[in-house]
Structure 1
Amino acid sequence: MRFIPGPIIIPRKSRKEKIERKKKTKPAKKEKKLVYVLIKVKPDQLISEKAREVEEIFKGKTFNRVVNPDGYTLLMNAQNLFSKSSRIYVVELTDDMNRWFYLVPSEERIKFKNKDKYMVFLIKKDSALEEIANKMVEGKLTKKSTFELVLTAIEVALGLLTFAAGYLAFENVIDISQLSNIVAFVFFFIFALQSIKKGYRRRSWED
């Protein structure tokens, strides 16, 4: 008797499985954070002694140390570490003559008991990292530029304008339609100002 092979059945994935696979999205990227910590060495202490104390805080973590760097060196180190972690700590030790920078990638928060400055930068644009690195080297992190001061003043003025318009509407000096137009203009203008601001936000606390 001659054997005739039957049809080969290839199992197909159900349409439901295909839809579920399409729905799966890539996890959102974590916001880049750069935490700057300044520690000033006491006059009766060597910077190398203080460095040993600081390195104890980083025990079990990898870190880069650069001495008296320029902006480019600091930037290259930071960019390299951001490829490994969404948060890096930049700790500066200084005795007013030398400046030692420690760059530490860490998803976990690192606590510092004694510090002279503590600043957190939420980086929105990669290009902003270069500006931050240069300001660190120049010692101008805490100083706002004229551009930033002007933008802040305009935002405050717009806020006062909105408050004044609300008061005038309450006193029936202007009608509601005029008030809504003013509020819409203020929100639009503030949004436009925010879009031309620097590619990072600065604050004095950490999540």
Structure 2
Amino acid sequence: MKRLISTLAISALVGTAAIGMIADQASARPNNTQQALADCASGSVSTDIFSFATCAAEEGNDTGNKGTLLSKLGSGDLFSGFDTSGMNWSVLGKSDDGGSVSADESVSGSWSALLGDSFYGNVVVSVKTATGYYAYAFEGVDAAKLTGGSFGGQFATANGKDLSHMTIAVAQTEKPSTGTPEPFSMIGAGLAVGMGTWLKKRSTKA
């Protein structure tokens, strides 16, 4: 009888331990919603002229009813080291809309966005794949350096999933001064040179 009770007790303990191990493994195994996005730097968006300054990985959609791209750009919460708040951000287009933005629907390929000949400002290229998106920031994009205002190049998704769509967000800013002297500065410099010449001639005559 004692042997039977002892056997039952040991069986109960082993069963409890096994159930605990299964529960621990189940809780440790991430589901799709718990899986973090890959590092954005493991993907890329490149052009022949400009390189992206920084990037970010976000879960969810970039555009649409639940899209977070514009709101995060407006609040400055998207990137680290690049404050996008206070800029007038807008969506230039999406590759699945058939407008000014195009991109291959694959893990990697080419992309382009028509910015216009007079554009100067910041551009964010959002690569939407699977359950999240990867945003790449380009600072100080000058359309004068582009051919026909066309901005584009190559991309590679960071998580190895096919591209769902590419979104281009832009914030036009004032182009920095080229350092050309103002008219009054030029007049002042001219007067100074003229006065120096007059004084030199006067001292020579004396």
Q: TM-score, normalised by structure 2?
A: 0.23
Higher helix share: 1
Q: TM-score, normalised by structure 1?
A: 0.23
Higher strand share: 2
